[in-house]
Amino acid sequence: QCLLSGSWRSDTGCRMVVSVLGKDGRFSGSYLPGPAAGDSEILTSPLEGSQQDAGLVPQPTFSFTVHWRLQARTTAFLGQCYVGTNGEETLHALWLLREAANSPAEDWKATR
């Protein structure tokens, strides 16, 4: 069964800690980017999200957002948790990072 509760590390060294999932699938936790982010000023930031009911589907989808501390940006993650033949859980996700733009003319460069 694929549950997001616990500690996770990405291939790039990012760390995510997810609290116990609520009965409704909602969760909260913290996120710290890895060295690939290249910004030593980034602190551990709060995250909030939800996971599909793992009792209904063996490899549930999930989504969460990270609200960066001390920075005008938010990242949204959308993915799925897979259980391998050895029982190991793996997360696969896409993400979008949105930074605050100073004007509508700069909107094009605010999302990565």
pLDDT, tens digit (0-9, with 9 covering 90-100), for 21-74: 888 999 999 999 877 555 555 678 999 999 998 788 889 999 999 998 878 899
Q: What is the DSSP letter of 87?
A: S
pLDDT confidence band for 15 (50 / 70 / 90): very high
83 within some domain: yes
pLDDT at 93 over 80: yes
Structural domain count, the chain = 1
For the chain, give the percent of residues with pLDDT over 70. 93
Q: Is residue 51 part of a domain?
A: yes
* For residues 13-28, average pLDDT: 90
At 38 the pLDDT is: 57
Residue 1 within a domain: no
Please tell me the distance from the alpha carbon of residue 76 to that of residue 87, in angstroms, as a whole number.
27
CA–CA dist 31, 77 (Å, integer): 12
- Tell me whether residue 69 is in a domain: yes
Domain that holds residue 72: 6-106
Q: Are strands 89-99 and 73-83 parallel, antiparallel or unpaired?
A: antiparallel
pTM assigned to the model:
0.84
Would you say residue 112 lies in a domain? no
Residue 68 is part of a domain; what is its CATH number?
2.40.128.30
* Cα–Cα distance for residue pair 18/101, rounded to 1 Å: 30
Residue 100: inside a domain, yes or no?
yes
Mean pLDDT for all residues in the chain: 88
